[in-house]
Structure 1
């Protein structure tokens, strides 16, 4: 397994798409700086105001960038035909997908955590003592939400990997990720109560506050799941999609 991991890590860091995805995700830090300077200027003119936290407002950029990275980790091999070489080198397709999942999961977790913490830190330093709404809590208070967010981004990247293995199309897998992240949670709001809030609480965007044991008053009222249950639901997403991807990878020819 060590040899497989080394091979997959070499492929992962040798393709341009990895660096494009990282660069796009890292734009979150720059956008957070620009946003904080902007709202700080408004605060100097108006006094206090309540602005969205940059690590929340620009989160979709981080989510989609790293989810696309997960997708491309497998679909790019189908595009270039490298998957045939991979399957000759590693006949056990489950081992191949597991190695890719380990690399994507660990890399995404480190990258997402670093970008979130950097965005958080730079925005608070720029805000200084201005009252902007998002800088009125301490890092100790916000850390559970930041870590839960990084974990959810990691889960989403693994979902992208699983969907990429199942669909074998970059566009199809990315559209599926977008639907899961943005479309389906919105559709759940049209269900009759109380099913609208109960179903919505199971979707990825709403699991993070529940894992961090925070209320969902802005979207759902109180969270319906305790932190351990919300974490279990979050982990179910990549597990299910990777199993589906493995079954598709096992049945189909390269």
Structure 2
């Protein structure tokens, strides 16, 4: 297993796409700082009467879907190009236990995405808090730093969850474009579609969507949905188990 892990780590760090993806993730920090500066300038120019209606979403949450998508792309590229080039045959020859091969890919993707997610979300949070200072800009900057740390950590964890789901989708679909489109539907299309549903189904379905689970995991006041933290953790785990389980079954049963 150690050799498989080393091999998968070598594959990911030796391709340019990995560094391109991580570069885009890194760009979210100055982008967030720029947007926060713009928001602060707008806030400072408003009279007190108009500040109550000002909306300034926390940048770490506004840009979280972008970070999730970037690491999901990295996860998809950890497996689908091997099918496109035929290198998957070499991989399964080197690691005959296909479940072990997928597990090695999952471990490497999880480590990279968790690290990158936590660093990016944390850096955006700290940079924007420093820029905003003590301005009580609603709704994203009315709480203290210590109160937001659990949500920041949960958001970084959600990046790894989405990446592992994307890896499973890549193993099932064997198509880079198809897997990325599926992730985009999960992250962007479904949340919008759920808003069109009538009560109470919109809230019930929204509560189990990946985009809403991080806040429920730490019982944050901004959480959409009514899942308790253990329930949110169970749903997050289910996403990973189902996606990787399906990927393992397809990888084992289909010819490389």
TM range (shorter): over 0.9
Give the structure 1 partner of residue 134 of structure 2.
129
Structure 1 residue 238: Cα displacement: 1.3
Q: Are 1:43 and 1:131, in contact at CA under 8 Å, matched by a contact in 2?
A: no
Give the structure 2 partner of residue 30 of structure 1.
30
Give the structure 1 partner of residue 247 of structure 2.
245
CA distance in 2: counterparts of 1:230 and 1:104, whole angstroms: 22
Which consecutive residues of structure 1, in runs of 5 or more, have no partner in the other structure? none
Q: How many aligned residue pairs are there? A: 250
Structure 1 residue 216: Cα displacement: 4.8
Give the structure 1 partner of residue 153 of structure 2.
147
Give the structure 2 partner of residue 164 of structure 1.
170
Deviations 1:206-228 (A, max 9, x none): 111111102457xx4xx321101
Counterparts of 1:84-99 in structure 2, within 5 Å, are 84-99=89-104
Equivalent residue for 1:68, pick from 61, 64, 73: 73
Deviations 1:158-196 (A, max 9, x none): 000000000000000011111112222333333443222
Give the structure 2 partner of residue 232 of structure 1.
234
Which SS does the other structure have where 1:225 is aligned? coil
Deviations 1:125-166 (A, max 9, x none): 122333433333222100111111111111100000000000
CA distance in 1: counterparts of 2:206 and 2:126, whole angstroms: 31
Superposition RMSD on alpha carbons, in Å?
1.6
CA distance in 2: counterparts of 1:98 and 1:173, whole angstroms: 18
Counterparts of 1:196-211 in structure 2, within 5 Å, are 196-211=202-217
Give the structure 2 partner of residue 13 of structure 1.
13
- 1:108 corresponds to 2:113: yes
Q: Are 2:65 and 2:187, in contact at CA under 8 Å, matched by a contact in 1?
A: no
The answer to which of 72-81 and 140-149 deviates more is: 72-81
TM-score by structure 2 length? 0.92
CA distance in 2: counterparts of 1:130 and 1:15, whole angstroms: 43
Q: Are 1:28 and 1:59, in contact at CA under 8 Å, matched by a contact in 2?
A: no
Q: Are 1:24 and 1:61, in contact at CA under 8 Å, matched by a contact in 2?
A: no
CA distance in 1: counterparts of 2:93 and 2:248, whole angstroms: 17
TM-score by structure 1 length? 0.93
CA distance in 1: counterparts of 2:205 and 2:111, whole angstroms: 29
Q: Kindly tell me: are residues 176 and 100 of structure 1, through their superposed partners in 2, closer, same or farther at Cα, counting changes over 3 Å?
A: same
